[in-house]
Structure 1
Amino acid sequence: MQDIISMLIGVSPILVMVVVFYFFLIRPQQKRQKQVSQMQQNLAKGDQIITIGGLHGMVDAIDEDTVVIKVNENSRLRFDRSSIRSTTQQEQA
């Protein structure tokens, strides 16, 4: 009985570190990934977006797995939906 208690006391710092690691690193990352996935599924034509590579543009067309981004009047680029990092709200002038 004494051996079991001393073993639990010896292992408890490692268990505490695992729990802290989960709540401060793993869980927030999972929540962020879920938000990004939701945003990518809810993209609509006309949304202002930023890609993972930093390209700013407007969604011109959406397919199941791809998005056509209008960069300026003459340029349209096709990206995978998963390469969209975020949407931005552009002020209406």
Structure 2
Amino acid sequence: MTIATISNFALQIIAQAEGAPASQPASGGSNFLMQFGPIILMVVAFYFLLIAPQRKKQKEHQKLLSELDSGDQVLLASGIFGEITNRKDDRFVVRIADGVKVEVAKNFVQTVIKKKGANDQK
């Protein structure tokens, strides 16, 4: 069997399933939604379940980074706690021990532990 014979046979089966005579091609309007509707729904669901929450989280992280200043205590992505001593264009200088300062990329700041000037009341 050739590809043309198989495709012609498939068109005849589809036409019979729709109730149309085998000699007439099936209408394209309703077939489009029947074929691509589930794919479109999957793409929309993928966006709302995965992409939108990730974008929201990324915006919150960017806001957190823009509000950081010297004196804030942070947790780095590596698990190291430190205090920001200086802010540069694309990185922070973080003091991780007495006399030990490291420069880290801004994106490696994971969480703010305590803002400068925050009250220590409990």
TM-score by length of 2: 0.67
Partner of residue 84 from structure 2, selected from 59, 69, 81: 59
Partner of residue 24 from structure 1, selected from 40, 49, 72: 49
- Counterparts of 1:1-93 in structure 2, within 5 Å, are 2-89=27-114, 92=120
Deviation at 1:87, TM superposition (A): 1.0
Tell me how large the CA RMSD over aligned residues is.
2.0
CA distance in 2, matches of 1:75, 1:56: 12
CA distance in 2, matches of 1:72, 1:92: 21
After superposing the two structures, state which structure 1 stretch, 32-41 or 13-22, moved more: 32-41
1:42-80 residue CA offsets vs partner (Å, 9 max, x unmatched): 111111111122211111111222211111222111112
In the comparison of the two structures, how many residue pairs are matched? 93
Give the structure with higher Rg (CA): 2
Percent of counterpart pairs with the same letter?
26
TM-score by length of 1: 0.85
Gaps in structure 2 of 5+ consecutive residues: 1-25
Deviant stretches of 4+, over 6 Å: none
